[in-house]
Structure 1
């Protein structure tokens, strides 16, 4: 098929990879990576210029949403269900825990990056919420 009519992309590696950029938007895959092991997650992020859509395609994932404006007040685990769209609103604190076999489709602004993303460190209680939820919802995954 002529690539001017149809572009086909795939990714079976680890981590995050933008696959298709067009105009102002981007489609990417997020797959398991060691930085997303519950014990390794030390911060949440928020995008100050855009929403970000998450779709669980395979495996298990927990989307952690944070309340608070300038700093993180509470961390709430949302167990993702396959093929549902989770639209993380602009300026919403968030992070994800993925099982080893998970794949998440992401849709975001093409220019989403360090220049328009804020980070907030997790305190010990918030880390414990994250770790406890991951072990509860993904038993055996992190032993």
Structure 2
């Protein structure tokens, strides 16, 4: 990652990290775990989720630090996708367990910290493309949640 995408400051004992650019930025990777920052991407807007993902080797922790975001989990029954959506609250820690289908929908100001097993983004990702019917169902569920919330 280039320095223009990630601001890192080392003052001796304390290191700080912050990604300014949109996208997924794993910035603190250690032997067994990593921390990343996810900033808004157009295909993760409230109306454009096209796929779910699953990790078979790690839980995934999400913490909203700025903006609005909806965390999406899904179960599959008889080729039907059932969505569970929650409007994230800043500073609250959310966990998606290993093997759970999930995604995230964000507004343009959203920033999310993600903690997971190291290098998950490089190999432990399975994608499930949503049908048009499922995309519409999810979009409507997300918009209803966002529009009816007091947050």
TM-score normalised over the length of structure 2: 0.81
Is the 8 Å Cα contact of residues 29 and 119 (structure 2) preserved in structure 1?
no
Shift of 1:16: 0.7
Partner of 1:128, secondary structure, is: helix
1:54 maps onto 2:52 in alignment: no
Structure-2 separation of matches of 1:16 and 1:70:
33
Q: Aligned ranges for residues 67-78 of structure 1 at < 5 Å?
A: 67-68=75-76, 73-78=81-86
Give 1:95's match in structure 2, choosing from 95, 103, 106: 103
Counterpart for residue 11 of structure 1: 19
Q: How much has 1:40 moved relative to structure 2?
A: 3.0
Q: What SS is found at the alignment partner of 1:83?
A: coil
CA displacement at 1:31 relative to structure 2? 0.9
Any conservation in 1 of the 2:43–2:50 contact (CA below 8 Å)?
A: no
Partners of 1:79 and 1:37 lie apart in 2 by: 13
When residues 115 and 19 of structure 1 are mapped into structure 2, their CA distance, relative to the original with a 3 A threshold, is closer
Consecutive unaligned residues in structure 2, runs of 5 or more: 1-10
Contact 1:34–1:40, Cα closer than 8 Å, also in 2: yes
Q: How does 1:59-138 map to 2 (within 5 A)?
A: 59-68=67-76, 73-138=81-146
The count of corresponding residues between Structure 1 and Structure 2 is: 137
Q: Distance in 2 between matches of 1:51 and 1:36?
A: 20
Instruction: Give the whole-Å Cα distance in 1 for the aligned partners of 2:86 and 2:137.
Output: 12
* Among candidates 40, 45, 48, match of residue 53 of structure 2: 45
Q: Distance in 2 between matches of 1:70 and 1:23?
A: 39
TM-score, structure 1 normalization:
0.86
Displacement of 1:104 in angstroms is: 0.6
Q: 1:70 to 1:89 in 2, by over 3 A?
A: farther
Q: Secondary structure at the match of 1:40?
A: coil
Q: Which residue of 1 aligns with 2:3?
A: none
